Amino acid sequence: MATTATGGGVPATAKTFLGHPRGLFMLFFAEMWERFSYYGMRAILVFYLTKHFLFAENPAYAVYGAYTSMVYITPVLGGYLADKYLGARKAVLAGGVFIATGHLLIALVEGPPGEQAGYLQGFYAGLACIIVGTGFLKANISVLVGQLYRRDDARRDGAFSIFYMGINLGAFTGPLLVGYLGERVGWSWGFGAAGIGMLLGLVVFVLFRGDLHDAGAPADRALLTARTPLGVSREWLIYLGSIAAVGISWLLIRDESVVGTLLLATFGITFLYIFYRALFTLPKVERMRIFGALYLIALCPLFWALFEQAGSSLNVFTDQRVDRHLFGWEMPASWFQSVNSFWIITLAPLFGILWVQLGKRGLEPSAPLKFALGLIQVGLGFVVLVLGAGQNGTMTPMLFVILLYLLHSTAELCFSPVGLSSMTRLSTGSMVGLMMGTWFLSTAAGNFLAAKIAQATGGEGAGPERVLNVYWSIGWYIIVIGVIAMPISWWITRLMHLDTIGKDDAGHALAGETTLAEPAAPGTRTRNERS
């Protein structure tokens, strides 16, 4: 068992499992069920709009884009409230309650087929609850993982790899069960299963929250419990404000253009605020690390704009243009949403071993270089699909969709877990929740761009080859950007000063940042092994 000095991470006497604090595995299962609910619902969302409420494709893509964008906008506010008042633990619990409520509400208001106004408004209300709940939960559960370890703990990358496996286990099983129930049994059965999944995640979190020790505690309990002029504590004022935010989200979900304006304003203000704090309140090395993190954040929208076609245009393409028959049985289109997670679960350990072996030889790519490689691979995925697509009305073999998801999965392994780990490592303690929220805000921008790309693939008068033309263009554009980003990555890596994390300017270990760690397990890397 690793021993740590006091002042950071879990206590040295805390029980471990497989060399990691037990709280990591509690968070693994809580996040697994949350991702089960999110990706399960995402797999049938566009189909529910087009086949139940009878939306045309472009309006359905607009609602989908507004929803997925807002899901990733709200973590900025959720991260700030957790940093300043609630603490990550209370934020995650509140978020889980809102998310479960949203899924179950959608299940209860299915109604008859057709655009029935009352049932549609109930559907929007359910989406609004999920949006607010994800704002509390998504950024802060990743922060909890980071708070179990010191910033220079050699086990951190391995912990995020394990945590990311939980994400993908939920993302793999969600579309299979929710997708089958929604498409083949009944839409309410699918959404209900997603809600039950989130409730299971809440049960795990509540029963085993003691394994977190002090991780995620409020920054100032007295400030949180102090009464406000409204006669309630600041904590309950935040919860009441969250209910009001559900109402605001309910109004916004139907207007993609307003969401886009809100997104641009939020991203601009947040980016400038972080830049200001880094420039005027942080010492030089910490400032440079924040600038490096902002570069990684800036690349995110480009990646997710292509990757997130999976739930919208690529989902519809799979439903309409792909031969899904296997041994005479036609698979639900939503099941292909699990292919990405299958590849992640299969390849993540291999990537962990690969990084370790390259690191021992001084050849492991830096985080910025991994991002560049991720952009190239996500573009190649679309190029491969277009090259293998059926022509003149013939169906596309499912092999080429599977190959696309393979390339997108290897791209994601160069992007998402690396980004999560980098945000917590490069951020100073007082900004870690805000930086994690901004990471998800950049993902929101990617989802908004993804909706625009999806709308370009269809619409009234669009021919059957429109989607392939769009995929071909965006694939090559992003490949070129990735190639350009490769030489830039060397300079960004120097900004990050990874060799001095946990030390002062003189190279001495900072109080609360020292670790006497056991040798890194496969899939983890020590600080000196990183390029």
Given a cut of 70, whether residue 517 has pLDDT beyond it is: no
Local confidence band at 520 (pLDDT 50, 70, 90 cut-offs): very low
Query: Which pLDDT score is estimated for 503?
Result: 56
Cβ–Cβ under 8 Å, residues 79 and 217: no
Buried b (16+ CB within 10 A) or exposed e, 35-67: bbbbbbbbbbbbbbbbbbbebebbbbbbbbbbb
For CA atoms 477, 460, 42, 399, the dihedral sign is negative
Phi, psi torsion values for 208, nearest 5 degrees: -115, 20
Given a cut of 90, whether residue 373 has pLDDT beyond it is: yes
Q: Determine how β-strand 16-17 pairs with β-strand 20-21.
A: antiparallel
Local confidence band at 7 (pLDDT 50, 70, 90 cut-offs): very low
Query: How far is it, in rounded angstroms, from Cα 242 to Cα 360?
Result: 48
Cβ–Cβ under 8 Å, residues 379 and 479: yes
Identify the three-state secondary structure at position 16: strand
Query: Which pLDDT score is estimated for 405?
Result: 96
Given a cut of 90, whether residue 67 has pLDDT beyond it is: yes
Identify the three-state secondary structure at position 516: strand
Determine which helix (DSSP H) or strand (DSSP E) holds 4, and give its type and residue range: strand 3-4
Query: How many other β-carbons are positioned within 10 Å of the β-carbon of residue 253?
Result: 22
Nearest to 123 by CA among 103, 137, 94: 103
Given a cut of 70, whether residue 58 has pLDDT beyond it is: yes
Q: Tell me: the pLDDT tens digits for 233-286?
A: 888 999 999 999 999 999 999 888 888 888 878 888 888 888 888 888 888 888
Query: Which pLDDT score is estimated for 139?
Result: 73
Query: Which pLDDT score is estimated for 2?
Result: 37
Q: What is the DSSP string of 348-385?
A: HHHHHHHHHHHHHTT-PPPHHHHHHHHHHHHHHHHHHH
Residue that wins the pLDDT comparison between 103 and 442: 103
Average pLDDT for the chain = 84
Phi-psi bin for 19: left (phi > 0), alpha (psi -120 to 50), beta?
left
Query: How far is it, in rounded angstroms, from Cα 179 to Cα 337?
Result: 9
Q: For the chain, what are the domain ranges?
A: 15-529
Tell me whether residue 202 is exposed, middle or buried, using C-beta atoms within 10 angstroms of its C-beta: 0 to 12, 13 to 18, 19 or more: buried
Cβ–Cβ under 8 Å, residues 338 and 310: no
Q: Which CATH number fits domain 15-529: 1.20.1250.20, 3.40.50.620, 2.60.40.10, 1.10.10.10?
A: 1.20.1250.20
Q: Tell me: the pLDDT tens digits for 133-176?
A: 999 998 788 888 888 877 667 677 777 778 877 888 999 999 99
Q: Please report how many Cα atoms fall inside a 13 Å half-sphere around the Cα of residue 128, on the Cβ side.
A: 19
Q: Tell me: the pLDDT tens digits for 398-433?
A: 999 999 999 999 999 998 878 877 887 787 766 776
Query: How many other β-carbons are positioned within 10 Å of the β-carbon of residue 351?
Result: 18
Determine which helix (DSSP H) or strand (DSSP E) holds 154, and give its type and residue range: none
Q: Tell me: the pLDDT tens digits for 309-356?
A: 999 999 999 999 999 999 988 999 999 999 999 998 898 888 878 888
**CA angle, corner 409, sides to 403 and 411, nearest 5?**
110
Q: What is the DSSP string of 235-275?
A: HHHHHHHHHHHHHHHHHHTT-HHHHHHHHHHHHHHHHHHHH
Given a cut of 50, whether residue 6 has pLDDT beyond it is: no
Local confidence band at 107 (pLDDT 50, 70, 90 cut-offs): very high
Q: Tell me: the pLDDT tens digits for 176-234?
A: 999 999 999 999 999 999 999 999 989 989 898 888 878 888 878 888 888 888 888 88
Given a cut of 80, whether residue 494 has pLDDT beyond it is: yes
Query: Which pLDDT score is estimated for 116?
Result: 73
Q: Please report how many Cα atoms fall inside a 13 Å half-sphere around the Cα of residue 423, on the Cβ side.
A: 31
Residue that wins the pLDDT comparison between 442 and 504: 442
The mean pLDDT value for 282-293 works out to: 85
Query: Which pLDDT score is estimated for 531?
Result: 31
First to last CA, the chain: 27
Given a cut of 50, whether residue 526 has pLDDT beyond it is: no
Given a cut of 50, whether residue 512 has pLDDT beyond it is: no
Who's near 446: CB < 8 A, 6+ residues apart? Answer: 300, 301, 302, 303, 304, 305, 307, 308
Residue that wins the pLDDT comparison between 286 and 517: 286
Query: How far is it, in rounded angstroms, from Cα 167 to Cα 229?
Result: 41
Most confident of 44-53, 141-150, 386-395: 44-53
Query: How far is it, in rounded angstroms, from Cα 13 to Cα 22?
Result: 12
Given a cut of 50, whether residue 523 has pLDDT beyond it is: no
Tell me whether residue 68 is exposed, middle or buried, using C-beta atoms within 10 angstroms of its C-beta: 0 to 12, 13 to 18, 19 or more: buried
Query: How many other β-carbons are positioned within 10 Å of the β-carbon of residue 326?
Result: 9
Query: Which pLDDT score is estimated for 11?
Result: 58
Percentage of the chain with pLDDT > 70?
88
Given a cut of 80, whether residue 437 has pLDDT beyond it is: no
Structure tokens at 131: 């949006």
Which value, in Å, is the radius of gyration of the alpha carbons in the chain? 22
